[in-house]
Amino acid sequence: MEGKKVVVTGGAGFIGSNLVKAIYKNNEVDVVDSMRTGKESNLPRAAAGKGFKLFRDDARNIGLHCSDSEIIFHMGSYSSSKMYGEKPSLVGETLSVMMSVLEYARKYDSAVILASSASVYNGIAPPHREDATLRVRSLSGEANIASERLGKLYSDMYGMDIAAMRLFSVYGFGETSKGEYANPVSQFIWAVKSRMHPIVYGDGSQRRDFVFVSDVVNALMKAVGHRGFDIFNVGTGQNYSLNELLEKIYKQHGSAAKPRYEDIPVKNYLVETLADTTKASEILGFRAEVSLDQGISMLLGK
């Protein structure tokens, strides 16, 4: 991807900043970020003066700062179920932002790559396929399902190109700005490196399809140029329990700190995620390359 004029909402956040680092050298990039869970330090220091601009603002104001963009990577939605549980009104905020992004994209004929979530599969037996009949079981799931529906509606009504990328359990570099909302991989690694006891919600048997952020960035970029509306899973096609994840971290780090098990703090907790990656592989040519063991090793600095 080169020579494009791009907007990245949430571009100072975890996934967004990794995307910006991958594209800013060869494209003109505007980042719009409210900085709620984003940090300017996540962004590449060398970006200033190279067709890169940062606007510290809510993505609902995208039209005040950006114009004539060819591609919008909408990464600015809230990603944690816990966030929605603490503040249910985030559902409305998420949809309000989505409407602003879609109206902006319609005005400038921009393609939209939307960061959706595997939370939409809550209550559905794995492996999870994009054509599953979805059931609304959580606030985060509703926010993502409704955002996807709006994308489909705008694509049907106005002929817009919109790809909804259902991200599974993303982890990797640059996640510290998310704090308590970070992925279990990162939180467990931070704990063992600090000689603290990792906190596990539930009994640790819940399973996740953990996907490294560099693979997610690759999938997002591969979605550029896809026509019409479509939905793609972004995962590895393998999953592990939280207890298995801890064992892998302990094995590489050498820590013996036992986890502390606590009650799950959210209702209708998503027990298991496992991506069926067939569609993304066949249509986008995407396959995850970083195994969980490799990802852990990189985060441990080995």
Centroid of chain to Cα 241: 20
Q: Are strands 111-117 and 210-212 parallel, antiparallel or unpaired?
A: unpaired
CA 33 – CA 257 distance, rounded (Å):
37
Q: Among 216, 227, 245, 224, which residue's Cα sits nearest to residue 117?
A: 216
What are the tokens at 223? 């979605």
pLDDT value, residue 91 = 85
Partners of 50 in beta bridges:
none
Phi, psi (deg, nearest 5) at residue 201? -85, 130
- Ordered domains of the chain (ranges, CATH): 5-168+211-235+274-289 (3.40.50.720)
Q: What is the DSSP letter of 280?
A: I
Stated pTM of the model: 0.94
The b/e string for 19-57 (b: 16+ C-beta within 10 A; e otherwise) is bbbbbbeebbbbbbbbeebbbeebbeeebeeeebebbee
The two tokens of residue 145 are 């399902």
- Give the helix/strand (H/E) hosting 20: helix 14-23
Apex 93 CA angle, 92 and 96, nearest 5: 85
CA distance 139 to 145: 10
Q: What is the pLDDT along the chain (302 residues), one digit of tens a residue?
A: 888 999 999 999 999 999 999 999 899 999 999 998 888 889 887 555 567 899 999 999 999 999 999 999 999 877 776 777 678 888 899 999 999 999 999 999 999 999 999 999 999 999 999 999 998 888 888 999 999 999 999 999 999 999 999 999 999 999 988 888 899 999 999 999 988 899 999 999 999 999 999 999 999 999 999 999 999 999 999 999 999 999 999 999 987 778 999 998 777 788 999 999 999 999 999 999 999 999 999 999 87
